[in-house]
Structure 1
Amino acid sequence: MPRKRLNTQEPPRKRNRTGCNKCRARKVRCDEQKPICSQCRAKGFDCETSIKLKWEQDYTSAGRAFGRAGLWTKKSAEKANASSPCIHVNDDEVSWIQIPQIFSYSFVNATVGNVEQLTTLEAIASEASPILDVVRTNDRDDALSTASLSPWLSARQPVFLPRHSFIPSSPPMLPDLPSPMHSSLLSYYLDKICPITVPSSVNKSPFANLILPFSITSSPAVLEALLALAACHRSKNDTAFRSTSLKLGHNVLRTLRGRLATEDALQVAMDPETLVIMMILCQYEIINECDKRWVVHLKGARDLIRVRRNAQLYPSSGQSSNELVEFAEKYFAFQDVIGRTACGEEPIFGSDFWTSQGEDTDAWLGCSAGLVSILCEITELSRRHRSRPEVSLLPEFQYQAASLERRLCSLRQRVFDEEDDILSLSAELKRMAAELYLHCALNGATPAMPLVVGHVQQVLRLVSVLLEHGVLAGLSWPLFVAAVELDPVEDLEWSNKKDLSNDVPNHARPFVLYALDRLSGSITNVTKTRSVIERVWLARGHDDFSDPRPEGYEKGQNDWERYVAPLCGNMSLA
């Protein structure tokens, strides 16, 4: 029933219909004074009034009531005679529009909890229980698995049931394998995984010209590790291969445990096969869950490489084995550097793997060794600042930061083939991302600064160009650095819509989600990368930006240390 007025002598209040735009948007009463109302005069707003015309035809075509037509009334006769705004048509006059295609990046406001559930094996197994033939695994204590640095000690003992499925045969160029499943996985590794490990198709992938020949000529454990990697990558789109990947990975770990129990430990460490298997298993864990297990492999490889260097010996297997060992060491060291840029933790590998004078662009790194050397120094300087924020006021710290910035600006990255524009763009993309990372991690830059906005626009433009050419390798880290430094107040328009294709968003956040969806077929864990990016966006959005000194800055933290580093533990971006 209607509420009674307190003073019946006063005339009832009437809602004004011609208030200014600001008052209507703020949902406050407008006194309609001209040329500016009192509300806008007090707030310093521009007072504008616009008239919005409503046409009955637009309402009736949408099936909505126009004015008070069709509203509830106490009189049933008037209600029955009220005209309905709906348009009645015959079935033969109805034509259905085409349902638009929905992409995963369309849901910008998806909850992070739903994304994080996709990163657990239990969620995948429960959702695909009619398809997978995996029995629940027995987990050991997390503290026990973390304390051991030996990467061949498995924390899970899975039990598998037999499964029958049709697997296409492999091409005749590959060696004969015991089952059609293995032949299909080897073909998948050669045709699908190897091409996406390098940014340019002009250069050969070391996963194809080094690891694959070595796996065919060495013991079956190396080839089985490659098959496990292929099955793990394929299971991202076909869950039927999940049980196969787990089974093959478990067999490789069991083989390594057997060698350690029966053979001399130094002989096992000096065998290049051990280092290659650990590298493949490290990549396997990155694709699988990207949790602390790949870091355990990384630490185990560090100890193994230390033993090899102390012995100062190499197996007498020829120059190819030496080249393979060098690539394996470069793989582990690069994973360590790129992962530490996000979290700022203590280094596992030192900077002695990289030379500051290296200007030649490496096809697998997608940049030069000199750039990686600068990233090592930036990360180490950022780690010092995180442990002691007051060092940023010292002249020595400021001089080192300025010196690194000058080296990045003047860095030259040579490409062997001058016509290889893709590799040149990839190297420039990483250099631009390194400059952005330096400003945020050392100079205290924030997303609202024009310097950061300009670098983010350039990084996203280069990412867009490389995606147009089908490049998947080496894009995760630059995209991550640009994504976590987006201004939460204003959605950045990084390009004109007319310069892009119809399916490419021209605003930064939708484009980041679009690019992550395109990278879902790469050998990085895009699910975890997207989860961290969304959590950074959520943390920035929850802060009160009207406060000039938020809580984290009282401790001397910069923007990167406050929002990004705490969320990036055990993260791989290489």
Structure 2
Amino acid sequence: MTTLECDYQIKLLWEEDALQRNIAHGRGKAPARKREVAQLVEQPLAYRVSEYEFCNTTTSDFDAMYWNSPSSLGIDDEDDSDVEEVVRATGLKCIPVPPHSPYLGSDAFLLDYYISELSPKCSLSRINNPYLYTLLPVAFEFEPLRNALLAAAANELRLQQHGEFEKLALKLRDAAIRGLRAHLQTAEMDWRGLAVMLMFCFYDISDGCAPSWITHHKMALKMLDRLRANSKTDTSLKALCEIYFVAHEVMGQTAWENPSPVRDLLWIPHNPQEIDVLTGCSRQLLSIIHRISSLAQRIRQNTFRANDQLLSEKSALIQELLTLHQVPASGSNDLNVVQTVAEAKRLAALIYLEEKLPVVGFPEPRQIDPTAIVQDLLEVLSGLPLHNAATLWPLFVLGVSRFTTHDQLMIVLSRLLCLEQSRPLGSICHARRIVQGHAGDSPLSIDRYQTSKARISLA
């Protein structure tokens, strides 16, 4: 063993001794700890406290992160291991939750997925997202809604090729149905129950546009009419339920072959020109589209006395659409996307009007050029991301319009296919099939074509 000589006269000192004697270590300068401590003490307490975050957790919160708690929904060990494996494979992290939280085990993972992945896809604004800031606080206190939200998250994972979540999604949905039924048996109908119906429609539309969504939607409209007259609650929950169900009815009427009688629209007091972050358009535009569908229904029923009456009403609607000014909600972010989607839907409404309200056998002054509007709409859509689901209705209107050329139709089909690949929802799938059948590029049978239209969702 070779001994090393000390060429630099190295001396070992205790740190406290060096501090007292003001001796520097190595290449460092003389320590100034006392001065730094004095500066920290002089800082305001509020400034220092703001740097800390406190989280009340225990080891059990992290142990239960990837599997269900004993109080969960009765999923067996085999299902449990499947869920655990998928959770780890996705790479998504589960947020730690305190012991008193209703979200434990796999529920905590689904909650995290709902917050970080699912809800941002359903709103044009990250700041004013009602799926987060309206529904989630209610779900924390109302178990049926909580189960419905988690079921929607599990079903979304299933749609993203994680079939292991299918059974969990069904069990959560069944738990929500049982919970809502028990709630309605022991209490009066309220807006929380209607919010559960909203999530049932959400689930059914995602799940292949199952026919049950029409049943839930009709029931929800009856509940909405009753609650408007008889109850009071938080304005944001009212507004969310109203815009969701009314928008689905209005947009659905534009596609359904045998629509139900068009109802009169009644809005809760609200700025009619404000762009809703769920629908991507204003309530005023929805009202105009609703009136177009109502006129189209009257044409089918031959209730017009003369074409001049139709021409007068059509001209008034065109003028309203040409002068319509839609404004984003205060505090909204992504203003460019919000305004672009709203403009796309305004242009689509003009095409829909020309498609549904022909004036036959009467000289009609041309107020707009539908072919030019089709091109304008395609240019507006080109400025939006391919995965933006709010473009579904404008794409559908273009896809079934007689004013769209074959080349333009191929662009529409390409965007619908990209939309479906990014998020394989039943509503997008049905819209793409109908447009493909309209283009003659699909062996879609007539019966299947009509069935798809009967339950399609375009909101």
TM over 0.5: same fold? Answer: yes
The aligned runs of 1:475-514 (5 Å cut-off) are: 475-485=391-401, 491-492=406-407, 508-514=409-415
Match of 1:455 in 2: 373
What does the per-residue CA deviation read over 1:431-468, in whole Å, with 9 as the maximum and x for residues that have no partner? 000001000011279xxx99443322222222221116
- The separation in 1 between residues aligned to 2:239 and 2:438, in whole angstroms, is 36
Change in 2 beyond 3 A, CA 1:221/1:354: closer
Amino acid at match of 2:216: H
How far 1:160 moved relative to its partner? 9.1
- The separation in 1 between residues aligned to 2:105 and 2:430, in whole angstroms, is 32
Match of 1:334 in 2: 247
Secondary structure of 1:232's aligned partner:
helix
How far 1:252 moved relative to its partner? 1.1
- TM-score, scaled to structure 1: 0.57
Match of 2:138 in 1: 214
1:305 pairs with 2:219: no
Match of 1:526 in 2: 428
Change in 2 beyond 3 A, CA 1:259/1:364: closer
Match of 1:516 in 2: 417
* Residue 569 (structure 1) aligned to one of 440, 454, 459: 454
* Residue 375 (structure 1) aligned to one of 278, 289, 292: 289
Amino acid at match of 2:397: V
- The separation in 1 between residues aligned to 2:431 and 2:294, in whole angstroms, is 23
What does the per-residue CA deviation read over 1:414-440, in whole Å, with 9 as the maximum and x for residues that have no partner? 234698211111111000000010000
Amino acid at match of 1:527: C
- The separation in 2 between residues aligned to 1:355 and 1:341, in whole angstroms, is 25
1:278 pairs with 2:197: yes
Identity %: 24
Runs of 4 or more above 6 Å deviation: 354-357, 539-542
* Equivalent residues of 1:221, 1:252 under 8 A apart: yes
* Equivalent residues of 2:392, 2:416 under 8 A apart: no
How far 1:193 moved relative to its partner? 1.4
Match of 2:46 in 1: none
The aligned runs of 1:8-407 (5 Å cut-off) are: 162-163=78-79, 164-165=81-82, 166=84, 167-168=87-88, 170-172=94-96, 176=101, 179-201=104-126, 203-216=127-140, 218-237=141-160, 238-261=162-185, 263=186, 267-269=187-189, 271-311=190-230, 313-314=231-232, 321-343=234-256, 345-347=259-261, 350-353=264-267, 358-388=272-302, 391=304, 393-407=306-320
Change in 2 beyond 3 A, CA 1:199/1:519: farther
**Count of aligned positions:** 361
How far 1:341 moved relative to its partner? 1.1
- TM-score, scaled to structure 2: 0.70
RMSD: 3.3
- The separation in 2 between residues aligned to 1:189 and 1:418, in whole angstroms, is 20
What does the per-residue CA deviation read over 1:360-401, in whole Å, with 9 as the maximum and x for residues that have no partner? 22222211111111011001111111222x739522111111
Secondary structure of 1:333's aligned partner:
helix
Amino acid at match of 1:182: D
Amino acid at match of 2:457: S
Amino acid at match of 2:335: D
How far 1:475 moved relative to its partner? 0.9
- The separation in 2 between residues aligned to 1:160 and 1:184, in whole angstroms, is 18
Secondary structure of 1:569's aligned partner:
helix
What does the per-residue CA deviation read over 1:337-376, in whole Å, with 9 as the maximum and x for residues that have no partner? 1111112612575312288982222222211111111011
- The separation in 2 between residues aligned to 1:357 and 1:392, in whole angstroms, is 35
Match of 1:17 in 2: none
* Equivalent residues of 2:125, 2:334 under 8 A apart: no
Amino acid at match of 1:253: I
* Equivalent residues of 1:367, 1:426 under 8 A apart: yes
Change in 2 beyond 3 A, CA 1:257/1:214: closer
Amino acid at match of 2:154: A
The aligned runs of 1:410-429 (5 Å cut-off) are: 410-415=323-328, 416=330, 420-429=335-344
How far 1:300 moved relative to its partner? 1.0
Change in 2 beyond 3 A, CA 1:527/1:402: same
What does the per-residue CA deviation read over 1:13-32, in whole Å, with 9 as the maximum and x for residues that have no partner? xxxxxxxxxxxxxxxxxxxx
Change in 2 beyond 3 A, CA 1:399/1:483: same
- The separation in 1 between residues aligned to 2:410 and 2:101, in whole angstroms, is 48
What does the per-residue CA deviation read over 1:215-266, in whole Å, with 9 as the maximum and x for residues that have no partner? 11x12221111001111122112222222211111111122223344x1xxx
Secondary structure of 2:254's aligned partner:
helix
Amino acid at match of 2:169: S
Where do 5+ consecutive residues of structure 2 fail to align?
1-74, 361-365
- The separation in 2 between residues aligned to 1:348 and 1:281, in whole angstroms, is 23
How far 1:566 moved relative to its partner? 8.2
Secondary structure of 2:279's aligned partner:
coil
Where do 5+ consecutive residues of structure 1 fail to align?
1-158, 316-320, 495-507, 543-563
* Equivalent residues of 1:452, 1:485 under 8 A apart: no
